[in-house]
Structure 1
Amino acid sequence: MDRKQLGQLIGIMVIIKSVLPMVFIQMEISEFVWFVTVYLIAAYIRLYDNRLFCLPAKLYVWVAFPVLAVQISLSVILEFVKKAIPGIEKNVMYFADTERLFVLVVSVSLFLMFKNMDIKHSAFVNKIAASTFAVYLIHNNPLLLRILWLDIFKTNEFVDEPWFILHMIGTILCVYVVCTVIDMLCARTVIPWVTRFYTFLWEKICAAASRIGAYSQWFLAKL
């Protein structure tokens, strides 16, 4: 797949996953499609040089925050008109959902901002950043979603409260810290044991395959 084909594929997938759902609110598309879309966008940024990807970091802020302001404004407007339009209250995340075009533009802009920033090496930051994917896998696990957000943090009870923002920030920090600690503990305890086990198992499989290969050669030589 060349550069043009990859760009066209990304465009099609963004339209399917980010644009069309803003027109057809009830449209349901697999989450897998979104993960593939994000992966392809990252691949395009990594593989191909483009002037849009090499601008000064501060310029991406001027893209991200106006788009974010528009998104928030539309969400506020939707909040005010939801009582006048039957059924609209079910779509309070209409403009703010993870896969919406506004969120995609803001996310890519912030990613490019940090990509082009001249940040000095920090062992602490790298240590914390190494657990980011694990944090995502832990807290977004379908088995934990309801327990975490409804039973433990009771997020739904704070939506209309004046301290909702503080509750949200505290919840995010708490989840990130706890999940990071879990990942670090696993890296020191469970992961080494699992690695040794699979290494041992793989060595046994390779040895068995080698013996089978040798026996096969001996058997064929006897024919």
Structure 2
Amino acid sequence: MEVFSFSTNNITIQKLWVQWLSLGGKIGVNLFMLISGYFLINSSNIKLEKILKFWGQVFFYSVAITLFFYLTKIDGVNSMKTVIKSLFPLSSSAWWYATCYFVIYLFSPYINQLLKGLGKRKHLCLILLMTILFCVSNELIFVGGSFAMNNTSWLLYLYILAGYIRLYKDEIKTKHCILWGTLSYILTFLTAVSLDLLGIRVTRLGKVATFYFGMNTLPVLITSVLLFIGFKNLDIKSSKIINTIAASTFGIYLLHDSVLFRHYLWITLFKNKSYINSVNLFGHSVICILLVFFGCSVVELFRIHTIEKLWMRYVNRICPKISQTISKGISAVEAHF
């Protein structure tokens, strides 16, 4: 959305199309974390191999992308500070989602134990309280607030919500959730259309037309949960093609949503701004999305079968030694106290 700057004085089909597409991105982020929480809730410990695999993936893209733009001078990237910063992608939040997910994963065994200790009733009460503080309180335009909620706390909320679904509601086969989720998507989109219409007369409302597209708004939360439950309950046979593409999705995110690469893709390469009032915007956007998705997927799959394979061979060799050292250190601390 930041690539396009539409006027609030009128509504065009191009503006509505961009808004329709942008809504999917926020829902996708929520779904990613719901899936993670659903599968991690029963984990009793963190795996060093998984941590190093995750770090290796983020580190590779951070350094590779930065060096590419630094050496080629594309888009005027010539700061050595940027190169040095790329060596610490998680602590510098090069990708906010990667940093937040990493933190939650490190704490996941403790979070899981605490949640299971709460029991069903208190777990539900915790979700309701967090929903009020992080979501419901944010519903009034210009008035609401979400009690200092940040990205990490929101992803933690989704983790807790997904954990509840896995622990207590997994046996419920809710019918038509995909249909209801699709309807919720349409209704959420219509909030933007409504504010666009009001914005013609009240400019301030037009400037916040996509207010209810936020990750922590009720419409997006409801849509995300419905779609998550709906697809979770689908009986889909294992597909090698689907699994292969799924394995590359996080890499696609890291590659195309890098600050440097994102600017190059949407502004320099595809020149999206030039299509803001063009009828060609629809075809252009679909082609660009497909090119980016499958292009980045190819890059990620190549990385998985080459660089990551070598990296994990090394990781699998050193992890037992590191784990043994950590275990001895913990035992020493326990003995001291």
Cross-structure match for 1:191: 308
Q: Does 1:100 align with 2:220?
A: no
Partner residue, 2:153 = 33
1:4 match: 121
* Cα drift, residue 185 of structure 1: 0.8
Mapped partners of 1:98, 1:2: distance in 2: 27
1:29-178 matched pairs, under 5 angstroms: 29-49=149-169, 53-56=172-175, 59-178=176-295
Deviation at 1:114, TM superposition (A): 1.4
- Aligned partners of 1:29, 1:115: CA distance in 2, in Å? 28
CA offset digits 1:181-220 (Å, max 9, x no partner): 121111111112212333444466579x5xx99xxxxxxx
RMSD: 3.0
Does the Cα contact within 8 Å between 2:197 and 2:206 map onto a contact in 1? no
Alpha-carbon offset, residue 143 of structure 1: 4.1
Give secondary structure in 1 for the equivalent of 2:215: coil
- Greater alpha carbon shift after TM alignment, 36-45 vs 148-157: 148-157
Following the alignment from structure 1 to structure 2, what is the Cα–Cα distance between the partners of residues 65 and 203?
Answer: 47
- The residue aligned with 1:218 is none
Identity within the alignment, %: 27
- 1:18 and 1:40 mapped to 2: Cα distance? 14
1:40 CA drift (Å): 2.0
Secondary structure at 2:177 match in 1: helix
Aligned-partner residue type, residue 136 of structure 2: V
SS at structure 1 position matched to 2:228 = helix
Deviation at 1:31, TM superposition (A): 1.6
How far apart, CA to CA, are the structure 2 residues paired with 1:191 and 1:32? Answer: 27
Q: Tell me, yes or no, if the aligned pair for 2:182 and 2:227 is still in contact at 8 Å.
A: no
- Tell me the distance in 2 between the aligned counterparts of 1:155 and 1:40: 38
Normalised by the length of structure 2, the TM-score is 0.53
Gaps of 5+ in 2: 1-117, 330-337
Which entry has the higher C-alpha Rg, 1 or 2? 1
Matched residue of 2:203: which SS? Answer: coil
Question: Could you tell me how far apart the structure 2 residues matched to 1:18 and 1:166 are?
Answer: 35
Letter in 1 for 2:266: W
- The answer for the alignment partner of 1:217 in structure 2 is none
Q: CA deviation at 1:88?
A: 3.0
The corresponding residue for 2:95 is: none
The count of aligned residue pairs is 207
Q: Which amino acid aligns with 2:257?
A: N
Structure 1 alignment gaps of length 5 or more = 214-223
Once the two structures are superposed, residues 76-130 of structure 1 have per-residue CA deviations (whole angstroms, 9 ceiling, x without a partner) of 1211222322333432321223332212212221221211112122111111112
What amino acid maps onto 1:22 in structure 2?
E
Over 3 Å counting, the alpha-carbon distance change for 1:62 and 1:142 in structure 2 is same
How has the CA–CA distance of structure 1 residues 119 and 198 changed in structure 2, closer, same or farther, with 3 Å as cutoff? Answer: closer
| TM-score in terms of structure 1 length | 0.76
